[in-house]
Homo-oligomer: A and B are copies of this chain.
Amino acid sequence: MEIFTDIYLGDSKEKLKSLSDNSVDLIVTSPPYADQRKSTYGGIHPDKYVDWFLPISEQLLRVLIPTGTFILNIKEKVVDGERSTYVMELILAMRKQGWFWTEEFIWHKKNSYPGKWPNRFRDSWERLLQFNKDKKFNMYQEEVMVPMGDWAKNRLKNLSETDKIRDNSKVGSGFGKNISNWIDRDKAYPTNVLHLATECNNKNHSAAFPEELPEWFIKLFTKQNDTVLDPFMGSGTTLIVANRMKRNSIGIDIVPEYYEMVRKQLQPVELYLLEPKVKYEKTKSERRITVR
C-alpha cells in the first residue's frame, strides 16, 4: 500500500476547504499561540483569538471522520501579571460549534524556559486538548501501553551510561525519557500526564515539538494507512513522524520557508544522495509526495 504526503502552502482556513468531508482520521496541531511568533505568523491578539480560530476548527470538524480525534496543543500566556483566558473561551466556543471536549492531557516540559520573577515560577506545562466529533472514537490503547517495542529497544541500546543514570534519577510516569523504567518492564500504564523535553536541535523553527508527542498520539488514535492532518505544520514534525509510521499525512502552512523546508525534507531520492543522515529510509520507497 502506498503512503501519501500532501503539503499545501497557504491559509489553513482556505486550503482546508479543498479537503473532502470525513477524510481525516486524526488531527494533531500546534497553532501559533496568541501574540507569539509575531515575526513569522503576524501574531493574533488574545481578544481576537477565538474569532480567528473558529472558522478553522469548523473546517476541521468537517474533514474529520466521525470516529476521529483532534489534538490541540496550546497554552495561554501571561498578560499584565494575569493569565489570559482565551484558551478557556476557545473550548467553550468549540463545544457550541459541535465538538466534544473529551480530555485534557498535560504536557510537562521538563526543560522549560528559565527565568525568575518576584511573583511567578517558570511555566513548565502546556495543554493538549482532545476534541471529538462523537463520544465513540477510535483508540488503540494497547499501542501505547506496550512501549517496549523496537523503538525502545533501539533507544536503549544506544543509551550511554550517563544517560541511564540521569534517566534513573528522574521521577516520572507515563512515557517519555524515563526509559530505564522499561528495562525490567513490559508494560507501562500511561496516564494523561506526558513528560517530555522540548527539542533544542532547532529545525529553523522556533516552536518545534518533540517527535515523541505526535508519535504517541498517532499510535494511540490511528492505525496504518490512516490519514493524519496538521493544519499548522511548521517544520513538519507531525508529517515526518506520520510518514515513518506508515500513515498518510496532510500538512498546511502559510509561511513559504517552512513549506519549502518540509517539501525538501520529504523529497526522497534527491536528498538521499546529498544528505548523509537520512532517517527514514525504511519507508522511502513507499512514499508518494504530492505538492500543491
B-binding residues in A (CB < 8 A)? 80-83, 85, 88-89, 91-92, 95, 100-104, 106, 108, 110, 112, 114, 116, 118-125, 135-137, 139, 141, 149-150, 165-166, 169, 171, 173-174, 189-193, 195
* Copies of this protein in the complex: 2
Using A169-B150, A191-B112 as known contacts, say yes or no to A88 and B92 having CB atoms under 8 A apart: yes
Report whether B91 and A85 are in contact in the complex, using a CB–CB cutoff of 8 Å. Answer: yes
Return the contact of A101 from the options B82, B119, B121, B192 (Cβ within 8 A): B82
B83 lies within 8 A of A121 (CB): no
Nearest residue, chain B, Cβ from A115 = B189
In the complex, which residues of chain B have a beta carbon less than 8 angstroms from the beta carbon of A80?
135
Question: Hey, which chain B residues are within 8 Å of A171, CB to CB?
Answer: 110, 195
- Tell me whether B83 and A135 are in contact (CB under 8 A): no
Q: Using Cβ atoms and an 8 Å threshold, which residues of chain B touch A136?
A: 119
A124→B92 contact, CB < 8 A: no
A263 to B180: give the CA distance in the assembly, Å. Answer: 46
